[in-house]
Amino acid sequence: MSETHLKLAASQRDWIAVDWGTSSLRAWYVQNDGFVQTNARSTQGAGSLTSSEFERVLLDLVGPWLKVDNTPLPAVICGMAGSRQGWVEAPYVPLPASFSELAQNVVRAPMRDTRLAPVIVPGVCQNNAAGPDVIRGEETLLLGLLSEAGTQRRTFCLPGTHSKWVHTENHRMLHSRTFLTGELFALVSQKSILRHSLEGSGDMDLDAFRRGVTDIKTGSASFLGSLFSIRASHLLNGTDPHTAYAYLSGLIIGTELKELQESGQLKPGDVVDIIANSALTRGYSSALTVFGATACVHDGDMAALKGLSKIRKDLTDDLVSN
Amino acid sequence: MSETHLKLAASQRDWIAVDWGTSSLRAWYVQNDGFVQTNARSTQGAGSLTSSEFERVLLDLVGPWLKVDNTPLPAVICGMAGSRQGWVEAPYVPLPASFSELAQNVVRAPMRDTRLAPVIVPGVCQNNAAGPDVIRGEETLLLGLLSEAGTQRRTFCLPGTHSKWVHTENHRMLHSRTFLTGELFALVSQKSILRHSLEGSGDMDLDAFRRGVTDIKTGSASFLGSLFSIRASHLLNGTDPHTAYAYLSGLIIGTELKELQESGQLKPGDVVDIIANSALTRGYSSALTVFGATACVHDGDMAALKGLSKIRKDLTDDLVSN
């Protein structure tokens, strides 16, 4: 389903939805009847911009959608644009937090151009006994996926460079935990001694991936103590680098799930909502079944758009139109 | 104790001991009475050399010790010089292996210069149910530390870029396991998002280090799921980067020990022989006490020299002098 056929909540005016992450920027033009008219994307992520550059970059992308008008067009932005190093800081809302606090704590972004009135959604932080953690962008995707009822307890997994796990219940985010899984996989596969024994192109060898997950689950492999066995196996047995790559991915994602299992945050029978756009979805779904859990997969862009729409609906008109 | 005051076994002739690792080269001139006369080191490790360059690099270092003589001076070399990408391959001896197999399987290195007759000590490999593993250089250090009796079971830990654990008994190496600990610590602390929250200069904060080890042991932290908390803690609480650096080191070394504990290879009351030259010795010793074990620390250079001397003693004269 393409977002251009998605029907969001109607509002009094057309508006622009923006998901501005570290490495990419995505925008949608939403008509007042709730239909998405068009969308655009750019690689000018927040990570490579200084505060003063955000306005120009956004106008480069959405300028063609703007008309000279008496009232500026509202825009709602989630993601790293609201970090301290971003456009303007939208301070973290502390967990546990109600999803309604997101709209209540948006921050207006400074614009010279009067055709646009952007606000930025805050991230959330956790600074209690559950351990320090921060989230920026994912809170909006979660909101997008919550049904209007949204009362039952749910476990969300947002895989990526940093894999985020968040538990929600009664329209609230309870706690979160971030795993360095994706970043560590990239470092080990591209920068460590193992890089000589790995080849990541082409389709993932799902059997080898599941063997990695299973070896971690059963304890016949462990994280730090099994990485080098991939190198040794290549030296001694000429193990195929595609197989080794998938096995390594299984070891790392398996370790993430094992740690969740050991801390009681993942149990057999659990249903986990995965939000992602990437090929990671398949791996995580498969790994979850090894741990006796079931994955329910959701599209990340769609979740962002829906979440931004819910926040737009809750914003008072003076915040988005003056 | 300096090696120049070390008395090794006497032999018929003077000889040269060489420890040639990936990133460094160390040589000692040993007199026939067993006393070490002098030593030298260079940063021309085996990792940066092609096969044809080894002779020149070795002669640059030990040339001043050589005289024109009728019989070439024996040299015994351990380490990566014997790898497939080294000077000449000294094929792995499979584990379990008797230490006497090391001398039996040395390989002569090709020399154009007739003043020197070098042999290279083989590495050992494990390719059985204990999991694939390889060792090159550490086998000689272990031999150096074994007493003449050497019958009781011992656990050796050789920390470093790749941390090696080897069990020995009755003059035999039983099995080995390599942890990517040092390499992973370097990647995470220098290349990951955590690098912005860490500062490694100056003395290690040993309290923070032990807290990292303890958090892993008790399960209140886990490897993949706690790395990001260092970043979050910096963002939310301004945690001191020196403290964070030591805590990260504790998390990683603690994970190594926890994995050994879980596989039954480390138990409270164990005595672990640590062989190292680096500052790592202090951290590993401290971490072992958290796990109820005791460390016995040995100097790495001394162990290499003693191990090479034992191999020299076992070599038949025709191998080292023709």
Task: State ipTM.
Answer: 0.91
Number of other CB atoms surrounding residue B31 within 10 Å: 16
- Identify the pLDDT of residue B1: 44
Residue labelled with tokens 């590495």: B123
Residue of A nearest to B177 (CA): A225
Helix (H, G, I), strand (E, B) or coil at B294: strand
- Identify the pLDDT of residue B272: 97
- DSSP letter assigned to residue B112: S
Residue of A nearest to B238 (CA): A132
Chain A residue numbers with beta carbons less than 8 Å from the beta carbon of B188 are 180, 184, 187
Tell me whether residues A222 and B193 touch, CB distance under 8 A: no
Chain B residue numbers with beta carbons less than 8 Å from the beta carbon of A238 are none
Please give the Cα distance from A78 to A308 (Å, whole number).
7
Chain A residue numbers with beta carbons less than 8 Å from the beta carbon of B187 are 187-188, 191-192
Best mutation target among A180, A188, A192, A233 (most B Cβ atoms within 10 Å) is A180
Q: Exposure of B250 by Cβ count < 10 A (0-12 exposed, 13-18 middle, 19+ buried)?
A: buried
CA angle (B242, B248, B249) in 5-degree steps: 95
Q: Exposure of A90 by Cβ count < 10 A (0-12 exposed, 13-18 middle, 19+ buried)?
A: buried
Chain A residue numbers with beta carbons less than 8 Å from the beta carbon of B259 are 222-225
Instruction: Measure B67 CA to nearest chain A CA, in Å.
Output: 40
pLDDT digits (tens, 9 = 90+) for B115-139: 999 999 999 999 999 999 999 999 9
Mean pLDDT (whole number) for B194-218: 95
Chain A residue numbers with beta carbons less than 8 Å from the beta carbon of B127 are 232, 236-237
pLDDT digits (tens, 9 = 90+) for A230-286: 999 999 999 999 999 999 999 999 999 999 999 999 999 999 999 998 778 999 999
Residue A223: which of B223, B228, B260 has the nearest Cβ? B223
- Identify the pLDDT of residue A279: 79
- Identify the pLDDT of residue A11: 87
The domains of chain A, with CATH numbers, are 3-128+302-321 (3.30.420.300)
Chain B residue numbers with beta carbons less than 8 Å from the beta carbon of A188 are 180, 184, 187
- Identify the pLDDT of residue B319: 57
- Identify the pLDDT of residue A1: 44
Is pLDDT of B2 > 80? no
Tell me whether residues A232 and B133 touch, CB distance under 8 A: yes
Is pLDDT of B176 > 90? yes
pLDDT digits (tens, 9 = 90+) for B157-172: 999 999 999 999 999 9
Chain B residue numbers with beta carbons less than 8 Å from the beta carbon of A179 are 224-225, 227-228
Residue of A nearest to B163 (CA): A225
pLDDT digits (tens, 9 = 90+) for B220-254: 999 999 999 999 999 999 999 999 999 999 999 99
Please give the Cα distance from A6 to B72 (Å, whole number).
84
Ranges under pLDDT 70 in chain A: 1-5, 148-150, 316-322
Q: Residue A150: which region, alpha, beta or left (left: phi > 0; alpha: psi -120 to 50)?
A: left
Tell me whether residues B188 and A187 touch, CB distance under 8 A: yes
Residue A134: which of B125, B134, B232 has the nearest Cβ? B232
Phi, psi of A128 (to 5 degrees): -135, -160
Instruction: Measure A146 CA to nearest chain B CA, in Å.
Output: 25
- What percentage of chain A exceeds 90 in pLDDT? 85
- Identify the pLDDT of residue B59: 97
- Identify the pLDDT of residue B317: 57
- Identify the pLDDT of residue B147: 75
pLDDT digits (tens, 9 = 90+) for B42-72: 999 999 999 999 999 999 999 999 987 778 9
Q: If you count residue pairs, one on A and one on B, with CB atoms under 8 Å apart, how many are there?
A: 137
